[in-house]
Amino acid sequence: MFTSMRKLEVDPLRLVALGGAISFAAGAVVWLLLGDLMGAATLEVDIVCAALVFYVVVSAPRRIMDARRISQSREAVFLATVSAASAQVVGSRNRVIIMLRSRDEEIDRALAGVRKALFLGFSAEEATLKASSRLASYSASNALRRAGLPSASMSEGGEETHGLEISGQMAAETKLPVFMTAAFFTPIMLLLYAVFSHITEPQQLVELVALEVILLDLAFYVCS
């Protein structure tokens, strides 16, 4: 988590403070919305909602980096292939790096930074090392670091993509039953609560529906 924060240039303390503030605000909103609907369990429900909001906010950088890693690891293979093919023909590492383009936004931005550094007189090693440290995918980072060298490896990005695909499938297999359980049992439990607590007022019933929306939304973001 801290690696992703560092790569996105996000201060961990600020993110924690932001998460705390947002979760406090979310807890207050839930408190105001529910009132005394849940009786003695109001505090617990409030704490659970605030904790889930905090997790969603603090884990945002990791989610962003995970999403970027897949596209970058795929692009790494392309970058390595073009770079190796051009290096054999062109002969100049700087010229190869200047010619390189990428369809991935982040890699293209990093390549633009490298080009700028080369034009300013930095060596290829220095320029690529600095730009590659910001990339989410290690194979994209390696491909950029070895750009323009004829010995660039093309299999690394494939291996990373394969690993990411497997981990993505496993994550989906784990998260789907969790969300399905939440989506299945939340309305049932809330309806049973309404029945046995004799909740008949329309306003209280609307509050129960609102509570369901909040809980399911949070479960959705945590599981996605």
Query: By the criterion CB under 8 A, which residues form the site for another protein?
Result: 71, 74-75, 77-78, 81-82, 84-86, 88-90, 99, 101, 103, 154-155, 157-158, 161, 165, 169, 172, 176, 179-180, 183-184, 186-188, 190-192, 194-196, 198, 200, 205-206, 208-209, 212-213, 216-217, 220, 223-224
Question: For another protein, which is the closer residue by CB, 16 or 154?
Answer: 154
Question: For another protein, which is the closer residue by CB, 121 or 202?
Answer: 202
Question: For another protein, which is the closer residue by CB, 126 or 165?
Answer: 165
- Whole-number Å distance between alpha carbons of 49 and 109: 38
Question: For another protein, which is the closer residue by CB, 43 or 171?
Answer: 171
Give me the least distance between CB of 126 and another protein, in Å please: 24
Give me the least distance between CB of 83 and another protein, in Å please: 9
Give me the least distance between CB of 21 and another protein, in Å please: 26
Tell me which DSSP letter residue 2 carries. H
Do residues 57 and 78 touch, judged by C-beta distance below 8 A?
Answer: no
What phi and psi, each to the nearest 5 degrees, are found at residue 146? -100, 15
Question: For another protein, which is the closer residue by CB, 21 or 180?
Answer: 180
Question: For another protein, which is the closer residue by CB, 65 or 77?
Answer: 77
Give me the least distance between CB of 28 and another protein, in Å please: 23
Do residues 122 and 94 touch, judged by C-beta distance below 8 A?
Answer: no
114 burial via Cβ count (<10 Å: 0-12, 13-18, 19+) = buried
103-107 own/partner pairs: CB under 8 Å, 24+ apart: 103/75, 103/78, 104/71, 104/72, 104/75, 104/140, 106/68, 106/72, 106/134, 106/135, 106/136, 107/72, 107/75, 107/76, 107/79, 107/135, 107/140, 107/144
**43-66 in b/e burial notation, b at 16+ Cβ within 10 A?**
eebbeebbebbbebbbbbbeeebb
Question: For another protein, which is the closer residue by CB, 129 or 210?
Answer: 210
Give me the least distance between CB of 181 and another protein, in Å please: 9
Give me the least distance between CB of 124 and another protein, in Å please: 17
